[in-house]
A and B are shown apart, each in its own frame.
Chain A
Amino acid sequence: MKYLEDNSLIFSRYDLFREQKEERTHRFSHDALLQEVAEHVIHGDDEKIITIVDQALEYKRPEEVIREGLIPGMDEVSRLWGEGIYFLPQVVLSADAMLEGITRCEEKMGRPMEKKGKVITHTAEGDIHDIGQLIVNALLRAAGYEVINLGVDVPVDLVVRSCQQHRPILLGGTALMTTTMTAFPRIAARLKHLNLQIPFVCGGGAVNEDFTAGFDLGIWGKEASWAVGIAEDALQGMTWSQIREKWNG
């Protein structure tokens, strides 16, 4: 078969154009051990993180290890992800490493670390495609939220009952199929009826902005990476309509 020598009139490789050189990571702490804790988070090393956190805990209080090592490390990962330098697997591995480190610090403290707020996530009734939900859960946990994961194919009743019980700051739902996402407005109507004005972020293959704009509480979550930003807004007390106006439309 004959092959073209020059493909430039056929397609443009924008990925090569925008390729950026890897940036050096910042310095977070003057303490060498805490700096190392942060770097292990940045590099997503969930095996060695325990060793280095244990070493740090010999000299530092667990709260300090979390505040000056683990969290700054994850903040740096968020920056690298936000600037398009890191890919998702690097973020997930970093989140795994940070959560391992936090678990070790919590054992030392004898109590769980205070979380920013509760978020409930689920995949729509009749739908079993939950990889988007897994990603959202990992990102939210890494950002300090307590995630109540209801799983897949979750009946409307169970979502509503869980919201009544836990009073989350945010509800998340994913659906791949158009024929399953119809559960979302039914959930929203039930929550409204109970006067639970919980912002309800809906995402996944089939969901689009027109659909979520069609019912109160609904916010379109275009990308999994929006989850943390929307949760931060909910935490600051923004209403569902304010969040919708900011992120959609």
Chain B
Amino acid sequence: MQLSKTMAYARAEEMMFGTCLYPVTTRRGMCLGGGEVIPEIVVHPRAGSEKSLKTLLREFERGYNDALERCVSIGHPHVCLEIEHVAQMTQKTEWGEDVAAQTVSLMDRYEERYGIVSGCRFTIADLRKPDMVHMRDSDRSQRVLEAIAACARHADMVAIESIGGKEIFDHAIIRNDVTGLLFAQAVLGGRDMQWLWPQIVAIAERHNCLPSGDTSCAHANTAMFMAGGYHGREIPHTLAAISRAISVSNTLVAYECGATGPGKNCAYENPIIKAITGVPVSCEGKSSACAHSDFCGNAIAAVCDLWSNEAVEYHSMFGGTTAAVFTEMLGYDTALMNTAINLGYEKELQACMVNSDRYRDPQSYILCPDIAWEIGKVVVEHHQSLYSRARAAALKCGELIFGDDKLQLTTYEHDALRHYMADLEKLPADEGNFIDLCLERYARIHGFRRESYGL
């Protein structure tokens, strides 16, 4: 498979929210990345609603009905509904399909009654825990593919958060082991996606559904979550930033296999992906505080095409249910961005977003459009292998963080990053040699089996 060799965007300054180089259109005619930012609402079912198909269907119906109703109530012109599978929906294919069919029927009803055009994305649960099953040859792998097919029959878009390499990643992230992160994310995660994504693309195309994208949720978001806030002591923020830079190598594989975008919301690496591929991307920041905290609440919106809340559990609030409330907030966020586009103030608004968070933390710094573009550039320049581009991204990430005096680091963060850079410099340039080194180093890690990745 050919790895990306060129940048879609010639300059970072060309990247803007609401517009991408390769917009896509859903089967209901909603254009994504074609000049407008669209809210993407994700509602998560309450605990206990998974006890039967009937209760789960009811929960999703309530949630997404509330979302659509609020759009109509205050006049949001478009909305995208994302349904992230709970495990039971992938385990029992018919559950996932029934929820998909119900959601589409709800969208059709609202379109017919009010003329609102909406889209829906279904994200299948990756059940293949690497230390439990063979990633390519197990009942669970089969079930994941069947669930994708079942949803693709109804959905506008399908996506997944693949978890290849998670067994090594979890071992490495709590040991400050940047070599392990490279192996887990780029070599194992990337190879797993090279196996998985051509199948997802083929299934989606058969059903006139968009194979949208993947995310490094299992890796870089775990790192972000563990790094926590300014008071967090779990892992250094610079390690989370490096994990994010590495994640570009594997997230990119989906698009190299034929994914069209929009990139999945929780892929915080999406600004870098957009710079390389030109596909539309969904992003999340301040409006996803309901699900997790991050340092780039505004800056991550700088180049988004869809704007998401990650996931909010369905509950009542003073202003309505969470589904309605978050739809309203997302819709007003996108209304502001779309107003700026239409008044010709988009550069000014983008500058405000970026300045809000640029120097808040290394993790937000590397996702600002100019820095994201620089990281993307070294990724395509080192297209020899999944590993070489990931290592180059990690080194560039460290170099950029050290290179800007305005980005202050604590002594601990500074020393940690210096240590990672030294480790990265020492690693072999060639992927084959790196794999040999890692197969020896990680052979004894619980649950790691090289054959799961074709090694």
Contacts and interface: CB of A to CB of B under 8 A. Distances in A.
Interface in A81-121: 81, 84, 86-90, 92-93, 96
Contact of A88 (B49, B171, B235): B235
Contacts of A87: 233-236, 412
Contact of A89 (B13, B175, B354): B175
Q: How large is the interface on B (under 10, 10 to 19, 20 to 34, 35 or more residues)?
A: 35 or more
7 contacts: A13-B360, A16-B410, A19-B410, A87-B235, A93-B176, A96-B175, A126-B88
B408 A153 contact: no
A223 to B, nearest CB: 9
Contacts of B305: none
Contacts of B373: none
Contacts of A126: 87-88, 91
A169 B358 CA distance: 48
Given A16-B410, A178-B313, 16 more contacts: A1-B13, A7-B359, A11-B357, A15-B231, A15-B413, A88-B226, A90-B176, A128-B127, A128-B163, A177-B86, A178-B44, A178-B46, A179-B47, A179-B88, A180-B87, A182-B47
A152 B128 CA distance: 12
Interface string A116-151: 000000000011101100110010000000000001
B47 A206 contact: yes
Contacts of B222: 131
B280 to A, nearest CB: 22
Interface in B1-57: 13, 44-51
A244 B419 CA distance: 41
A2 interface: yes
A88 B234 contact: yes
Given A16-B410, A135-B174, A153 B129 contact: yes
B328 interface: no
A128 B129 contact: yes
A111 to B, nearest CB: 24
A206 B45 CA distance: 12
A205 to B, nearest CB: 8
A28 interface: no
Contacts, number: 111
B77 to A, nearest CB: 29
B235 A14 contact: no
5 nearest A-B residue pairs (beta carbon): A89-B176, A15-B230, A179-B50, A128-B129, A178-B47
Interface string B168-205: 00110111100000000000000000000000000000
Contacts of B236: 87, 89
Nearest to A14: B230
Interface in A11-30: 11, 13-16, 18-19, 22
A3 B48 CA distance: 49
A79 to B, nearest CB: 13
Contacts of B355: 2-4, 7, 10
Nearest to B56: A179
A128 B132 contact: yes
Interface of A: 1-4, 7, 10-11, 13-16, 18-19, 22, 81, 84, 86-90, 92-93, 96, 126-128, 130-131, 134-135, 138, 151-153, 177-182, 206, 211
A189 to B, nearest CB: 14
Given A126-B87, A128-B129, A10 B356 contact: yes
Contacts of A89: 173-176, 235-236
Interface in B328-353: 347, 350-351
Nearest to B87: A126
A184 B168 CA distance: 28
Nearest to A80: B233
B411 interface: yes
Contacts of B351: 1-2
Nearest to A123: B129
Interface string B71-89: 0000000000000001110
A182 B56 CA distance: 14
A84 B233 contact: yes
Given A88-B226, A89-B175, A179-B86, A13 B46 contact: no
Contacts of A19: 410-412
A90 B236 CA distance: 11
Given A88-B235, A153-B132, A16 B408 contact: yes
Interface in B223-253: 226, 230-231, 233-236
B264 to A, nearest CB: 17
A126 to B, nearest CB: 5
A173 B173 CA distance: 21
Nearest to A93: B175
Interface string B149-182: 0000000000000010000001101111000000
Nearest to A15: B230
Given A88-B174, A89-B175, A11 B360 contact: yes
A18 B356 CA distance: 22
A81 B87 contact: no
A134 B91 CA distance: 25
Nearest to B49: A179
A13 B408 contact: yes
Nearest to B44: A178
B284 interface: no
B269 interface: no
B294 interface: no
Given A128-B129, A182-B47, A92 B231 contact: no
